[in-house]
Chains A and B, each alone.
Chain A
Amino acid sequence: DVKVTQSSRYLVKRTGEKVFLECVQDMDHENMFWYRQDPGLGLRLIYFSYDVKMKEKGDIPEGYSVSREKKERFSLILESASTNQTSMYLCASFGRTPYEQYFGPGTRLTVT
């Protein structure tokens, strides 16, 4: 089974802190994604990556950056956390056989 793991289930940070959210997949997938989930808004794409050291902005990249130094690991970085970044963050990887995205369990981040 494909496994996508995220470093923390729950995280509490203070405004202005630098925050790292880590995601690891074990299926050698090239494509990885970070989404943000908010009530009433569904999931919105923050950043995605097609390969090591490659990244593309999604729909809401402001305030975020990403890093992909190894194929299996895709990190989301909040350079200076703000309260409006309090949310559930979901990582996913994509496989072509079968054709679907696999999601991690999510990290619920609270910024106070």
Chain B
Amino acid sequence: GNSVTQMEGPVTLSEEAFLTINCTYTATGYPSLFWYVQYPGEGLQLLLKATKADDKGSNKGFEATYRKETTSFHLEKGSVQVSDSAVYFCALSDQGAGTALIFGKGTTLSVSS
């Protein structure tokens, strides 16, 4: 079945460091891929998405490229801020399955000044 694997955390960085959170997926067909962010005490917010191979999603300085050949959707940011401290979830949606999302286990990012 479909699944998402993302790197385990926590990830601890200093402000202005480069961030990569790895995400790989297993899916039949052509899923859409998402990164969601959850700030402390809040629900999930969509950070970025890509709906087909080679698409790049970007938002708030974060980027991720849909790589079909490596079945990956790694999240990157060139310079993190303390305010980026949160839990990040990679997810996929197989349209044939009716748009329910399959999530990775989440990666906690902690950025210190």
Give the B-binding residues of A (Cβ under 8 A).
Answer: 4, 31, 33, 35, 40-45, 48, 50, 56, 58, 90, 92, 94, 99-106
Q: Looking at the complex, which one of A41, A48, A103 makes contact with B98 (CB distance below 8 Å)? A: A48
Asked whether A103 and B45 contact (CB < 8 A) given A42-B106, A43-B89, the answer is yes
**Out of A42, A99, A105, which one reaches B89, CB within 8 Å?**
A42
Known contacts A45-B100, A92-B101, A100-B34, then 15 further A-B pairs from the complex at CB < 8 Å, ordered by chain A residue: A4-B43, A40-B105, A41-B105, A42-B89, A43-B89, A43-B101, A45-B101, A45-B102, A48-B98, A99-B49, A102-B46, A103-B36, A103-B45, A105-B42, A106-B42
B103 interface residue per 8 A CB criterion: yes
Assess whether B79 is interfacial by the CB under 8 Å rule. Answer: no
Residues of A within 8 A of B105 (CB): 40-42
Most chain A C-beta atoms within 10 Å of own C-beta, residue among B44, B89, B98, B104: B44
A94 and chain B: residue at smallest CB distance: B99
Cβ-defined contact, B98 with A31, below 8 A: yes
Any chain A CB within 8 A of the CB of B51?
Answer: yes
Q: CB distance B104 to A42 under 8 Å?
A: yes
Bound form: Cα–Cα A48–B102 in Å: 13
Minimal Cβ-Cβ distance residue in B for A41: B105
Minimum CB–CB distance for A30 against chain B, Å: 10
Cβ of A90: which chain B residues have Cβ within 8 Å of it? 43-44
- Write out the residue numbers on chain A whose beta carbons fall within 8 Å of the beta carbon of B51: 99
